[in-house]
Each structure stands twice: as structure tokens, then as C-alpha cells.
Amino acid sequence: MTKLSKLKLDPEDFGHYVNNLWSAFTLMDTKEDIRLLFRDLFTHTEYKMFAKRLEIARRLIAGQTYEEIKKSLNVTATTISNVNNILSEKGGGYRKVHDKLIIIEKSRQVAQDKRQNQLERHGRKKLSSETFVFDLAVEGFKAASKKIQKTIKEKSVSHELTL
């Protein structure tokens, strides 16, 4: 963990600095802007540490065990315990972020499922067992040829019916 300077700051000045820090986060318009600010403010280790703590909190809120979290995130029981203590004592920030992330994840999942269903429907039309390529591969050229002749006949009959 980064060490804090032993030089004392005026409490009023420090309050001003902290207020500027909060303002800096809220002034960012995009995720990319926030990412740039984080990369400037935090070391790579601090960045990873914050991300892991948030994920530990989310997994604890979701009911995962210490052992599951230790294995999947490669963290110590002490780190998990520290985050769990924060969740037990206060943890309002973790919970609020967790709830908002759940909403985002659900909307992403709905959109992904919708896209997947569209792809599957589109794919079934092209890849059904009644396609020319499937017949050619499974039943050989004769079956595919018969299928083409049958389709031509059906189309000409339906065309005659529409006239």
C-alpha cells in the first residue's frame, strides 16, 4: 500500500483537496475520461487493488464464500475479511455500486440474448436440414437434384395459382 507523507496538512486545505478529488470524478463525462483520470491518479497496483476490492464486495453481497473468492480472485482471506468488515459496518457505497452494476449487467444480458435469438433465427433459415448444402453433404448429389426440381415445380405451381 502507498504510504502517506508524515508532513501535516492544514485540515481546511486537505478538505479542499478532497472536495476537488470528488469533483474531478463527477466532472468526467465518459468512461474513457474516467479511465484516463484513474490511470493518472493511481499506480497499476492501486488500480488492481481497487478493482479487486470492488469485486470482492460484489461477490460477498452475492453470497459467495471466502474460499470461492480466494480461488477466483487470487486474494487472501485477510483482504476478503477487511472488505467484509466494511460491508458489515457501513458499505453503502459498495452496495449502491453493486445494485447499479446489476441493473447494467441485466440490461446487457437482455440485449445479448436478443441478438443471440436473432442470430439463431437467421441461422436456422440458412442452416436447416432442408438446405441444398445439407442434402448434398448427407444424401449426395441425387437428393439435392431432386430437391431443386421439387422446389422449381412448387414455385411454378404457386406462380400459376397467383395468376
> Domain limits of the chain?
128-163
Burial 102-112 (b: 16+ CB within 10 A, else e): eeeeeeeeeee
pLDDT tens column, 42-86 = 999 999 999 999 999 999 999 999 999 999 999 999 999 999 999
120-158 burial: b if 16+ Cβ within 10 Å, else e: eeeeeeeeeeeeeeebeeeeeeeebeebeeeeeeeeeee
- pLDDT tens sequence across 115-132: 888 888 776 554 444 555
CA distance linking residue 56 with residue 81, whole number of Å: 10
- First and final C-alpha spacing in the chain: 82
User: pTM for this structure?
Assistant: 0.62
